[in-house]
Homo-oligomer: A and B are copies of this chain.
Amino acid sequence: MFELGVVYRNIKRADRKAADALAQYGSATVHEAMGRVGLMKTYMRPIYAGAQVSGTAVTVLLQPGDNWMMHVAAEQIQPGDIVVAACTTDNTDGFFGDLLASSFMARGARGLVIDGGCRDVKTLTEMGFPVWSRAISSKGTVKATLGSVNIPVVCAGMSVQPGDVIVADDDGVVVVPAAMAKKVLDTAQAREANEGEKRAKLASGVLGLDMYSMRDPLAKLGLKYID
């Protein structure tokens, strides 16, 4: 459960190589490699198209309308991290803007995933700092109430432990538990290996029905063709 008013300084980050290598496979392939679990809710959208990153999670638990813990989190960022911010209640306020982004980038963060609002999106786009958020909002926040940093959080419906791997792109945000990072990477690589071949076949007109030998199982389930 959520513990308030604490900052864990020493978190166990996932294997760095795996955390870095997952980005190239993207969220859809990694999600498949996980066994089709780990995806945050689809209301999480990138503030600009085209970013594709992976990194280790520094987690933040925010209070509604209060971004104080984002500053506390900044100090805990190490190069290769992605900040994952949850909130104790649904809230779309603009917890994050260009000043915090300057700070996060200086610390080596690769992006932010926030179950809340984001502002200064034009400047963030120019800076090339990717954010996945539930809303875009000019609304500023106060600094009055304690949350926590680097505790387990639930962000957009998905449980995130500090140090887990985050993979985010235009298709969404996937969470890979730190302990599974290497194995998921292997599976993702294997999946990708024959994707090119499959794509070529399909592009040449071969049907998935034949390529995947689906006709028999479909017939067994009773699919009827009517002329």
Contacts and interface: CB of A to CB of B under 8 A. Distances in A.
Nearest to A157: B154
Interface string A1-42: 110111111100000000000000011101110111111011
Kindly name the residue among A66, A171, A199, A222 whose own CB sees the greatest number of chain B CB atoms within 10 A: A171
Given A89-B92, A223-B6, A205 B107 contact: yes
A176 B50 CA distance: 34
Contacts of A30: 138
Interface residues of A, number: 103
Contacts of A224: 5-7
A80 interface: no
Given A42-B117, A209-B71, A172 B7 contact: no
A28 B123 CA distance: 12
A138 B28 contact: yes
Given A74-B207, A92-B89, A159-B154, A174 B138 contact: yes
Given A1-B34, A8-B226, A140-B32, A221 B154 contact: no
Interface in A63-103: 63-66, 68, 71-72, 74-75, 88-94, 97-100, 102-103
A221 B106 contact: no
B174 A71 contact: no
A145 B122 CA distance: 30
Nearest to A143: B214
Contacts of A32: 140
Contacts of A221: 5, 145-146
B222 A135 contact: no
A158 B154 CA distance: 7
A7 to B, nearest CB: 5
Kindly name the residue among A65, A121, A159, A169 whose own CB sees the greatest number of chain B CB atoms within 10 A: A65
Nearest to A8: B226
A75 B207 contact: yes
21 contacts: A1-B37, A2-B37, A5-B221, A28-B97, A31-B139, A31-B140, A42-B139, A63-B65, A64-B64, A65-B66, A71-B209, A71-B214, A75-B207, A75-B209, A90-B91, A98-B199, A99-B202, A103-B203, A107-B205, A122-B169, A144-B145
